Structure 1
Amino acid sequence: ENIEGYMRQVPCPDCGGARLNPLALAVTVDGRTIHDLCAMSIAEAAKALAEMNLDDRDSMIAEQVLKEIRSRLGFLLDVGLDYLNLSRSAATLAGGEAQRIRLASQVGSGLVGVLYVLDEPSIGLHQRDNRRLIETLVRMRDLGNTVMVVEHDEETIRVADHVVDIGPGAGEHGGAIVHSGPLEGLLELEESITGQYLSGQRRIAVPQMRRTGDGTRLVVRGARENNLADIDVAFPLQQFVCVTGVSGSGKSSLVNEILHRALMQHIYRSKTPPGRHTRLDGVGHLDKVICIDQSPIGRTPRSNPATYTGVFDHVRKLFANTAESRVRGYMPGRFSFNVKGGRCEACRGDGTIRIEMHFLPDVYVPCEVCKGKRYNRDTLEVTFKGRNIAEVLDMPCTDALEFFANQPPIARHMGTLVDVGLGYVRLGQPAPTLSGGEAQRVKLSSELAKRSTGHTMYILDEPTTGLHFEDVRKLLGVLGRLVDQGNTVVVIEHNLDVVKTADWIIDLGPEGGSGGGRIVAEGTPEQVAEVPESHTGRYLRPMLC
């Protein structure tokens, strides 16, 4: 593992990355080897096969095969994957891309009477490609199937025949069916937050003023990773910067592979090599770079929002300073469920016992000794304002903010968790039970609670994934606070509510794959909306009215 940091994948010198020996590569169809065809994007391959010139004998042999290939490529085009190479490794696909490939294979199967369940298929899709995805879903329905979609995308909701709205709030404030029926009924419901956003009663407002920053910039020179066409990109500092463009236009290559890795290398001496570029100018204006993604905050039930944000250290010190703790000689470590002393030894502080099931997933059951409280009886006898440590961990953040109002270090952390819209999450809620969006907002709240240096760049890749309209509004408020403290926020985003609130947009394209990798437009949302070549600008224009 230590050596891997110094290693890099390079094409095989013998086959040039084709994976096949010279005998296999000697076979050509219409002058192309199998490697030539697989190296093309799906759109290019479909065009090449459509224009293929074969003599009568070859046409007779290839007729059925070509028909099958063309139809399958057509399904991939319909779900907005025209920019992917046929030889693209499955491990490098985003979650939304892999889901749409599986969807394309189902469309091609032509099955009838099947229930399809899709979880946010619009993830990572530009508005232009979203329309093609919806048409595919409608076609599956018309074949005689039932399509059930979990979705926050407004366009998808409006096309649905039947809408089920669950709420009205989140966590313990939700779980009820607010509406089940046609869309029209949802639009008239006052208690539905979804209905209020769809009907226009609530909306995310366009900012009255755009931040202009202090004039300093971070410039990536000669970016040429993947499909980037040797471009220079300037990121203005102390502003909210949004990188947009159709799927496959080079956004992740620019921000994640070049900008983030190059900054990590310059600031933290990271050994991960950045994507191909000439140089990075203006690094001296930054002293920190933080990538806030939707990966889990912890892999085990021991990790929770209280431990991740650091507030649990303050809570344990508070319990250790109570009169009862002092009499008993308890230190802060007594109130940790990770070490011996105060924890329940039957479950080792997990609160659950894992039962291994052969050939089936493991089953977790509450500990019979502590009943899921994680601590032993002696530890639970120590209370603060009538609550023991287990009851405090079971509190929602909103209640904890009120409970610890007179404890500034704890109240500050609780306040930021409530500000990012996580008031319903319990302090001790196990990390694996948090969704991607919730985990990301726990990370954001942790950053907000820190003392700001004002020279930090925050990088977020599609932060609105899995977020409701109201959650997007709260997220934008949090990102705005980070920028107002003098920091820079760079997001890759398709959500137009986020794009319209940005101070500066960098729009890549104009298409995906080999047709992208260039800057189509850059400037304020109003300036980008006036660029006719920009697909983002075309969809953004009505939002700014």
Structure 2
Amino acid sequence: MAFISVRGAQEHNLKNIDVDIPKNSLVTFTGVSGSGKSSLVFDTIYSEAFRRFVDSSQTPIYVMGGSSWSKMSRPRFRSITGLPPALGLSQKQGVAGKLSTVGTISGVSDLFRVYFAAFGDIFCHKCDIPLKSISFSDLSKKIFEDFNAKKIMIIAPICEKRKGAFIDEIEKFKELGFSKLRVNGDIFDLQDENIKIKIDPKKLNTIDVIIDYVSILIEKKQRIERALFQALEYGKGIVKIEYLSKEFKFNTKSNCPQCGESAPKLDPRYFSHSSLGKCIKCEGEGSFKKGYPADLFPCKQCHGGRLDPSTPIVRVKGKTFIETHLYNIKELYQFIISDFKEHVQNDKSKIKVYSEISRALLSMNRLGLGHLILNRSGASLSPGDLQRLRLSTMISNKLTGVLYIIDEPCQGLTKQEVKQLASVLQEIVKDGATVISVEHHPVFLSFCEILFLMGPGAGVHGGQVVAKATALEDLDVFLENPQTKLNKTKFAPQSLLLEKAPKLPKANSKKKSPESFSTKTSVLSKSSMLFSDFQVRNLIGKTIQINHGVITIIRGASGVGKSSFIELCLLPALYSLGGKNPDAEDEIEIPFKEFCKFNVTNDFEVNVVGYVKPGSVTRSSRRSVASALDVIKPLRELFTKLPTSQVMGLTESHFSWNSKLGRCDHCEGKGYIELPQRYSEPVRVECEVCIGAKLNSRSLLPRFKGYNLADVMNFTLEQSLDIFENHKIIANRIIRACQFGLGYIQLGQGMDSLSGGELQRLNLTIELKRSNLDGAWFILTHPSTGLHGPDISILGELMKVMTERGATFILIENREEFLPFADKVIEF
């Protein structure tokens, strides 16, 4: 079939829509926040593609747990035809873990580990010369020389720090007549039927067979050599010698010709900073200060390389594993296609791994990630870089007939980077794939073959396909969404603000056109801080002035130092001036004055610092939008005062899903049950007792205007204003969120379900309740995330209003739609 045909889609706010999406095309869905883009693309199309894949394979048995999968409901639609296998990449995958690196996220580190372990040259730690194989006779001679007249144990290593029960191996040595087995240091008698050897298969186990316990005497040479031969056979070329509780390893395939040092059998895990190779001092983080960047505070033992110095020294074309991980991707790719390629030659085994490495690096380079190094922590990546890094792993293999579904791939990119990304996706389409994206960037939209505009508004005002375009002359309809252009599509526009909400106050300052912008500011406050003489990363040579009480936009390509400046200099400086970040879990004290010179005017004021990165891990599924807006307590008080509650003796605790009095006991107030999976994240299934209400049946009886508390929590903010229009406390706290274009989100929606852009706007909403914003600083990373043209205008106007009340905004943003709202633009 030439199309992916969706009929009757009704997931979330989708209004029974029909849509035909052409295959082998670059397709984008755009529209205002909450218009239904993700509901259609991710929650319907991708979710059904994944469900069909699992349902039609053996995956339910081995991964999903069979019966668990049957409990999951499919998306709400009438039919979907022509749906190919799909790979999806959404913003909600969150930030990377503390031990993840660019290399582990991309999978390139795994490939290097395999190559170095299988084909690398081992070097002596002391002499720094290649180790060579040693003959059996030379090994025997060395044993007699080193342990003459000493009683030793000759041991065959079976496995070292591996998971498993090893039942077959134990039975094999028992049948061969061996009597002693050592498991994790404990010795067992194999021939004693009364002894049962228990091995925990989930733990890392080390198992050895004791071949002989013998004194090294010339008259016992035949016995000793027979024991050595058996140990080498079962130990696959490695024998352990133990004398007076000291252990010595001999590897016949790697021995130093000068000092006799022997290396263990190479294992890819020796090159893993989360396994056998991790530096014990820093536990694989690379930094001597936990939570700090490894390149700024390298661990003295591993020098920031994350690996233990005692691990074998292995080189390929003169480079160690760590050295390859300190190149940036652009430099590393050049090394791979030149020197490294010579090492491969015509060896089929090497070629297979090499081709995977080169293809992955090429994909990362083409997506504009050439500035990254493999050893860089994944947690330090900007949201845009992390998104593209994950995208590179998806597209590097150029699968044919596959559907790629991508959420805002242009996040944080410059025009040129967006063009580069779009050209890569176009090539994938030429190779036979289909790409569907959710995106707002005008440059990216101009590269797409098919555009769908969702809307016309958000929430209940959205959920429809407003327009479809196949020609670039129709592009303006998809960018501004004005009434005149929407009328052409036979849809009446809907206001993004509620009728009951007060109209958005206009800022006093006039908007400036993007053409009038430069790196200078029009009217700036006298209060400022100056950063100069940078000595960190690629900020060297810059001088940056930050002004108080204005909107400053920081722009520039990926890797030029925008995030480094914010996180290593600006934020620590604000904290040092008394700023507090209420959303931060543990503020890391960065000694920023070691990285730059810092001067500040005396009348500089800082008290609150709001810094929320898209994909922040601080979002909690137990915390709802209602609790963030401080309307939970008023709602519980309201329901407690109802006549039904008074008769039943219900208190506020009976309306809390965190209390034993009110919560559903089956799901413990979550509204869902988590089904653990063997190879993936747990799957959430709606609680079959409370049907997602979170509360027990008793707490659901009282009703306000015909709705119980669970019904109320399912209302959008816009709907709730109709219900609580006479309850000023609740209404006033909700109105401001609606002014930020968040009227479509639900009161009970978990904070972990919000996009990065939604989270940032909600954070600003909460701060607006303050009577005085003097000294309030807001650092926004890519605030355009999830925002369409009208959304950006709303956010821009509100930032202007807040600056007039004393707030200061710093935006890391490359979208030009924000420029008219800026007082100062800093180009990196």
Q: Distance in 1 between matches of 2:362 and 2:714?
A: 52
Tell me which amino acid in the other structure corresponds to 2:458. A
Instruction: For residues 118-149 of structure 1, give each alpha carbon's deviation from its aligned partner in whole angstroms, at most 9, with x where no partner exists.
Output: 22221221112111111111222223332222
What is residue 599 of structure 2 aligned with on the other side? Answer: 281
Structure 2 vs 1, CA of residues 393 and 98 (structure 1 numbering), >3 Å: closer, same or farther? closer
What is residue 207 of structure 1 aligned with on the other side? Answer: 511
Gaps of 5+ in 1: 509-545
What is residue 119 of structure 2 aligned with on the other side? Answer: none
What is residue 634 of structure 2 aligned with on the other side? Answer: 314
User: Which of the two has greater helix per residue?
Assistant: 1
Give 1:307 shift: 0.7
Tell me which amino acid in the other structure corresponds to 1:479. M
The answer on 1:137 being equivalent to 2:455 is no
- SS of the equivalent of 1:445 reads helix
Structure 2 vs 1, CA of residues 477 and 293 (structure 1 numbering), >3 Å: closer, same or farther? farther
What is residue 227 of structure 1 aligned with on the other side? Answer: 538
Q: Distance in 2 between matches of 1:378 and 1:335?
A: 10
Give 1:392 shift: 2.6
Question: C-alpha root-mean-square deviation of aligned residues, in Å?
Answer: 4.2
What is residue 827 of structure 2 aligned with on the other side? Answer: 507
Asked whether the equivalents of residues 446 and 472 of structure 2 are also in contact (C-alpha less than 8 Å), the reply is no
Structure 2 vs 1, CA of residues 315 and 246 (structure 1 numbering), >3 Å: closer, same or farther? same
Q: Distance in 1 between matches of 2:366 and 2:538?
A: 22
Instruction: Give 1:428-507 correspondences, 5 Å limit.
Output: 428-507=748-827
Asked whether the equivalents of residues 243 and 251 of structure 1 are also in contact (C-alpha less than 8 Å), the reply is yes
Instruction: Give 1:179-258 correspondences, 5 Å limit.
Output: 179-180=467-468, 182-183=470-471, 187=475, 196=482, 207-208=511-512, 212-229=523-540, 231-258=542-569
Asked whether the equivalents of residues 125 and 494 of structure 1 are also in contact (C-alpha less than 8 Å), the reply is yes
Structure 2 vs 1, CA of residues 141 and 95 (structure 1 numbering), >3 Å: closer, same or farther? same
Tell me which amino acid in the other structure corresponds to 2:380. T
Asked whether the equivalents of residues 167 and 176 of structure 1 are also in contact (C-alpha less than 8 Å), the reply is yes
Q: Distance in 1 between matches of 2:693 and 2:321?
A: 61
What is residue 151 of structure 2 aligned with on the other side? Answer: none
Q: Distance in 1 between matches of 2:627 and 2:309?
A: 54
Give 1:212 shift: 2.6
Q: Percent identity?
A: 27
What is residue 259 of structure 1 aligned with on the other side? Answer: 570
Structure 2 vs 1, CA of residues 331 and 118 (structure 1 numbering), >3 Å: closer, same or farther? closer
What is residue 694 of structure 2 aligned with on the other side? Answer: 374
Instruction: For residues 167-202 of structure 1, give each alpha carbon's deviation from its aligned partner in whole angstroms, at most 9, with x where no partner exists.
Output: 33333333323334514595597xx77665997999
The answer on 1:41 being equivalent to 2:328 is yes
- SS of the equivalent of 1:491 reads strand
Instruction: For residues 15-53 of structure 1, give each alpha carbon's deviation from its aligned partner in whole angstroms, at most 9, with x where no partner exists.
Output: 644558699889696x98776665343344556788989
Instruction: For residues 294-332 of structure 1, give each alpha carbon's deviation from its aligned partner in whole angstroms, at most 9, with x where no partner exists.
Output: 3367432x3211111212122223334456655665543
Tell me which amino acid in the other structure corresponds to 1:473. S
Asked whether the equivalents of residues 412 and 782 of structure 2 are also in contact (C-alpha less than 8 Å), the reply is yes
- SS of the equivalent of 2:460 reads helix
What is residue 683 of structure 2 aligned with on the other side? Answer: 362
Gaps of 5+ in 2: 1-97, 99-281, 488-492, 494-508, 514-520, 581-585
Bigger mean CA offset, 192-201 vs 157-166: 192-201
Instruction: For residues 74-107 of structure 1, give each alpha carbon's deviation from its aligned partner in whole angstroms, at most 9, with x where no partner exists.
Output: 5433211222234434443344324434544566
Q: Distance in 1 between matches of 2:553 and 2:751?
A: 29
Give 1:229 shift: 0.3
Instruction: For residues 433-485 of structure 1, give each alpha carbon's deviation from its aligned partner in whole angstroms, at most 9, with x where no partner exists.
Output: 33332222222211112333411111111111122222222222222222121
What is residue 520 of structure 1 aligned with on the other side? Answer: none
Structure 2 vs 1, CA of residues 328 and 451 (structure 1 numbering), >3 Å: closer, same or farther? farther
Instruction: For residues 242-268 of structure 1, give each alpha carbon's deviation from its aligned partner in whole angstroms, at most 9, with x where no partner exists.
Output: 111111110000012221133234426
What is residue 713 of structure 2 aligned with on the other side? Answer: 393
Instruction: For residues 198-240 of structure 1, give each alpha carbon's deviation from its aligned partner in whole angstroms, at most 9, with x where no partner exists.
Output: 97999xx981597734310122343333221054321011000
Q: Distance in 1 between matches of 2:730 and 2:324?
A: 60
- SS of the equivalent of 1:290 reads strand
The answer on 1:290 being equivalent to 2:610 is yes
Q: Distance in 2 between matches of 1:22 and 1:364?
A: 47
Structure 2 vs 1, CA of residues 476 and 353 (structure 1 numbering), >3 Å: closer, same or farther? same
Bigger mean CA offset, 241-250 vs 275-284: 275-284
Q: Distance in 2 between matches of 1:107 and 1:328?
A: 59
- SS of the equivalent of 1:472 reads helix
- SS of the equivalent of 1:131 reads helix
Asked whether the equivalents of residues 657 and 663 of structure 2 are also in contact (C-alpha less than 8 Å), the reply is yes
- SS of the equivalent of 1:214 reads coil
**Normalised TM-score (structure 1):** 0.77
Q: Distance in 2 between matches of 1:166 and 1:120?
A: 15
Tell me which amino acid in the other structure corresponds to 1:160. C
Asked whether the equivalents of residues 49 and 70 of structure 1 are also in contact (C-alpha less than 8 Å), the reply is yes
Q: Distance in 2 between matches of 1:12 and 1:365?
A: 46
Q: Distance in 2 between matches of 1:156 and 1:445?
A: 30
Q: Larger C-alpha radius of gyration, 1 or 2?
A: 2
Asked whether the equivalents of residues 42 and 85 of structure 1 are also in contact (C-alpha less than 8 Å), the reply is yes
Asked whether the equivalents of residues 221 and 277 of structure 1 are also in contact (C-alpha less than 8 Å), the reply is no
